[in-house]
Every structure is written in structure tokens, then in C-alpha cells.
Chain A
Amino acid sequence: MTGSTGVLGALAAHLLGAGGLVLPHLNYSTILPELILLGGMLVILAASALSPRPLPTEVYATATVGLGIASLIASLVLWRDVTSHGAFTAIARSIDVDGFAVFFLVVVSCILIVAPMFAAGYLRREGITGCEYYVLALISGSGAMFMASANDLILIFLGLEILSIPLYVLAGLDHRREASGEAAMKYFVLGAFSSAIFVYGIALTYGATGSTNLAEIGAFLSRNVITSNGVLLGGLALLLVGFAFKVAAVPFHMWTPDVYQGAPTPATGFMAAMAKAGGFAALLRVFVSTFPTLRTSWQPVVWVLAILTLVLGAVVAIVQNDVKRMLAYSSINHAGFVLLGLEAATARGIAGSLYYVFVYSLLVLGSFAVVAAVGGNGDADHDISRYRGLGRRRPVLAVGFAILLLAQAGAPFTTGFFSKFYVVEAAVAAHSYALAVIAMGSAGVAAFFYLRVVFVMFSDVGIAGASDVSRGGGEIARAGAVAAEVREQDATLLGGAGASAVATLVAPAYVAAPELAPEGTPSEPEVSVSPWVTTGLVLCVGATLVFGIWPQPLVDFAHQATLIF
């Protein structure tokens, strides 16, 4: 024992050096949102452990919503600091406090305000007691926040793990269902694998530049011209692969459909929103602000990733009859749109991506909440036939879902339209015309499968050939292309928005019509929606419509976020 103390003492003396230990100045106010989430999480955990009888799930949900609001307020205070004093780094230069970081702090806070509402109704229905969902969501949120404000690759990796590990557990939350356990296992194995790739990327980048600090890496690269940069490019490639796994970009998307389908539906919505927010935050910061000198090297790769993601996400979603799986593929398609802003690598592009991530988070949370409600007890049946006649049985729910789906398709007067508009506009401004055309085409194709669900909800006829939808593939593609062309022409002029909307709305619905035929005895599943889910949906749909009609505040927020960073 004394021997090892001596060794450690010598080691400590070596580390401390002659001048003593230099302690970092910890400015706790810069990580206040994260501290609120983690501290609150510990309190919830202690309350659940110490209470003599199990607390109802609504108590935990209320606490989580409260913590989300508190962290939102703390983030807005940081926003005020940044706008008045400018961006700064803190805690041994590993934390960036700039508009970019604070934007994502706000996004994560908003996700944490809405997600528990959807979870509360679901967990009560499925008989899952305990505080686990909420605690894991809070930890995951703090990880996403650390990723967004990290100024160091090591901290990004820590944030990535803090974000991901709770998500693996959330996927397997309903462990009595086999699909849930399978989803957790798949997500864990592939996620751990991608984390390992990411760390190796950090190692190579460190080897090539001599630092893990993003600012120092950027300074090193701007000072030195590296003639043979194989190690650095290798590191960059591995970093990109690690991020692409997390944000589900093709060809690293393989886990997404199975995990999204198998996980409990509110957990699916949460992981879709949170993993993309955290992943894109770090991806945008690392590539655009740290490696701008290597832009000619990574831009073509991102270009290919974006095209694959856009096309595969949209095309494969068409043939899905399971609405949950369809939304999983549609989330892949959305990831492609966010990559559009990264490929442009301009302030405009980043602003577009930021806006897209914000809008997408609320849309995907709301959509999966409706899927959870319609899916019924056991969360097993998400076939599109369950949605038949929903417009008559639950008109308000159906209208809400229709708005969320239309927004995802990019219909005007919703936030979805502006989100697609800004990233495509940024791609055009950066002269990526092919990419912009393909993005618009994929939006046209995507409109088909969103409108198919809307059409089914508001028609009382059954689906005859639900499984041979692919039969109409050619027609769909043509209609999609027509719609895309119209949109492409009009997209540059905001005034033509109405015409493009009509084209997107009408063309695919027209194709969908022949597939529908009357059916004999429709069994109508009961759909129950708890007040919690209703409140959350009102928030999501409200934000979609309000910021769709009055977009300026949110757009300005995204633009300011990139100006300061």
C-alpha cells in the first residue's frame, strides 16, 4: 500500500510540476442549463427512491417539464449575455458560449418540455411505472447540450456518450416487448461501434494537429500548410462516420428503421429529436468552424451523403405500410435536408440547418405522439389501416396529425415550408444546383407518403392493395417530379408559394386515389388521448402554425445564432 502511495505521490508531483497545480476557473453559470437538468435528475431519482409508495408518472412528468422550462430560462439568460457581450469560452476553453450553442440549448430545452407530456400518457396506458423515462431523458438532454457547447473534441465525445447511452436504455424501456429489447440491443451495438470509430477519429486528428481543442485545431490549420495530410483526412473521415451514424445519414442509417420501430413510441420521438439535435450541433460546429481550410476535401463527401440520405429516405418510405416505420425513413430524409446546409458551409446554410433542426424536433415529437395514441394498447399495431376514418372518429386529433404531416412535407403556412425553403435556398446560393434539385425532388416524393396517411385518415374507404403500393411507383415518381419542378421554379420566389403548394398537395393525392377501394367490415380501433398528450400536441401544432404564418422571430433567432458564432 505504501509503495503504491509513493508511486502515486511521485506521479502527482510530476503532474503538478514545480509551480503547483493550475486549477481551471469554473464559471458555473455558463453550464447552468446542463446543471439544472442533471441536478433535477438526481432529485427526481432520490424522490422516486425515498417515497414510500410509487409516485404516479404524472408527478415525474410535471417535474421534468418544470426542469425543461428552467433550463430554457437559463438558456435565454445566456442568450442575453451573448448578444450583449459577444461570444466567449469558459472552463479551460472547453466550453463555447456563443449564439450557436445557445440556440441548441433552447432546442434541447423545448424538446424536454414537450417530450414528457407525450410520455406521461403513454407510460400510464402501458402500465410502465417509475421515473426511468424522465431521468434518462434529462441525462440525454444534458449530453446534447454539452455536445452543442463543446469547444473540445474530448468534450464532444463525452457529450455524445451522455446523449447516447440513455437513448439505448430508452429504446429498451418496455422490456416486456421483444421488439423493444431487440431495438435496444441493435442500437447499443451499432452505437457503441460508431462511438469507437468517432474516438479513433479524434485520436488521428490529435495526432495530426497536436490538439483536441477546436479553436487550437483551427488555428493550427490556418497557420500551417500540411503537404501530406493523410492522417488528418483519415481522422476527419472517421469523425464524419461517427456523426453520420448518430444522425442516421445513409449509408450509416441501417439501425434507424428497426430501432425506431421497436422502441416505445414516445422514446422513438424523443431519440429522433434529441439525437439529431445533438449530432447536428457537433457536426456543424466541427466541420464548418474548425475545418474550413479542408472544405474542398470534406464537401464532396457530404454532398454524396446528402444525396444518398435524401433519396433513400424518401424512396424507401413510400413502400412502408407501417406508419411508424414510414416516419423512421422520413426522419432519414429530413437528415438529408439538414446536411444540405452543411454542404453549403455558408452562414446562410448553417442558419437554415439550425432552423431545420428546431422545426423538425417539434414535428417529429408530435407525429410520434399521435402514432403512440393511434397504435393502441401494446404499442404493436401501427399499420396504416388503423388510421382509416380517424378524421371522422377523432377529427381534432386527425387534423392535428394532418398539420404535422403536411408541415413535414413542406406545405406553406407551416414551419416545414420555411425550413425546406431556407436550406434549399442556401444550397442554390452556394451553387450546389444538382443537390438543390434532388432535394426538391425528394420533397415531392416524400409529400406522397405523408399525404397518403392524410388521405386515409379523412376517407372512410379501406385500402385494397395496401401491400402493392409500389405498383404505382412510376406514376408516383412522375407526379413527384412534376411537383418538384413546380416547386423548384417557385421556390426562389416566395410569392409563388401557393402554386407550388397546390402542386405538391394535389399530384400525389391524385395518384393515391386509385389504390383505394371500399372494404367490407371495417373494425375501428379505439383511440384514447390523455390530456397530457393533448397539451403537448397543442404546443407542437401551435408552434408549427404560428411560426409558419409569422416566421420572422424564429428565422431571426437562427440567423443571429450563426452571426455570433
Chain B
Amino acid sequence: MGSLDSYLPIFILFVLALAFAGLSIVASKLLAPQRPTSAKEAPYECGIVPAEAPPQRFPVRFYLVAMIFVIFDIEIIFLFPWAVVYNQLGRFGLVEIIVFAASVFFSFLYLVANGALDWGPVKRVRPVASEQSRTTTSTVRRVGHGTGEAA
């Protein structure tokens, strides 16, 4: 069982994590005064109180922008330590990082070419079957164009 000794720190961390979560819940129950109001029970305690229910479906572009962000986030995560040890890595590091950056750039190129950053109404290739009541022209108020049609 000697080899299992090295797992002891992991086990201790696991117990600590459980204990921390449990203690936090118990402590807040015991220590915090319980005077609930409707504002406190709202999902978000700060910000503007929504006047109407938010739309159930978000345009897929929000997710695409999030994906682009993640792609470049990852690139920066790799670039930063590379820059720190640039002198030791030398030509090898430069070539590797150029290859890496190029492949990231190609994926960005693909995203942009497929309209990931085109906002506003786009020409639909195929008609949408449902959701006729809520379209891009009825919900998106285009600044400077009034509420008119896109084209």
C-alpha cells in the first residue's frame, strides 16, 4: 500500500473541499439574518429591474462571438509564457508559435467568412418553419433606420 501514500494530499484536498462547501452553507444559515424581500430573492440583486420577460431564445451570434473570444483567449494563454522565455526558445519557439498563430488565424478567417461577425438581418437561404411572430425585423430596432426593412 506504499504507493497509495502519495495520494494522501489529494484525499486531504478532497475532504477540505467538501468541508469548505458544507461549512459555508451551515455558517450562512446560522449567522445571516433571515429577512427576505422580493428584491433580495431576484436572480440578480443588482442592475436594472427588467420591465418585461427576456426573450427565450438568444441569437446564435452571441455564442459565435463567445467562441471567437475563447479561441483568442487560448492563443494569448500560449503566447504569454512563450514571450517570457522567448530568448531561451529561440528560432524553434518562433517557428512553433507562428504555426500555432497561423492555424488560429485560419479558423478566425473561416468564422468571419461564414458571417460570424455580421450583425443585423441576413438573407435566409431557407425559410424558417416556426416563430413567425418574432423576426429579426420586428425585435431588432435598427439605429438610424427607424424600424424599417433592412433592404
Contact = CB atoms under 8 A, between A and B. Distances in A.
Contacts of B92: 23, 26
Interface size class of A (residues with CB under 8 A): 20 to 34
Contacts of A553: none
B88 interface: yes
Contact of B113 (A12, A38, A49, A208): A49
Interface string A1-14: 00001001100100
Contact of B3 (A9, A38, A207): A207
Contacts of A228: 1
Contacts of A20: 88
A49 B1 CA distance: 58
A23 B112 CA distance: 36
A176 B92 CA distance: 45
A48 B111 CA distance: 11
A48 B113 contact: yes
- Chain A interface helix/strand/loop/mixed: helix
Interface stretch (B15-23, B43-51, B77-85, B136-144): B77-85
Contact of A21 (B80, B85, B126): B85
Interface in A83-115: none
Contacts of B114: 49
Nearest to A49: B113
A16 B102 contact: no
B109 A45 contact: yes
A50 B84 contact: no
B106 interface: yes
B103 interface: yes
Contact of B112 (A8, A9, A38, A49): A49
B110 interface: yes
B78 to A, nearest CB: 13
- Chain B interface helix/strand/loop/mixed: helix
A12 B110 contact: no
B89 interface: yes
A494 interface: no
Contacts of B147: none
Contacts of A8: 80-81, 84
A16 B88 contact: yes
A564 B115 CA distance: 50
A231 B110 contact: no
Given A20-B88, A23-B92, A228-B1, A45 B110 contact: yes
A48 B81 contact: no
A45 B80 contact: no
A176 B126 CA distance: 10
Contacts of B109: 45-46, 49-50
Interface string A169-198: 000000010000000000000000000000
A549 interface: no
Nearest to A6: B84
Which one of B6, B7, B81, B84 has the highest number of Cβ atoms from chain A below 10 Å of its Cβ?
B84
Interface string B55-73: 0000000000000000000
Interface of A: 5, 8-9, 12, 16, 20-21, 23, 26, 38, 42, 45-46, 48-50, 176, 207-208, 228, 231
Closest 3 CB pairs of A and B: A49-B113, A49-B109, A12-B85
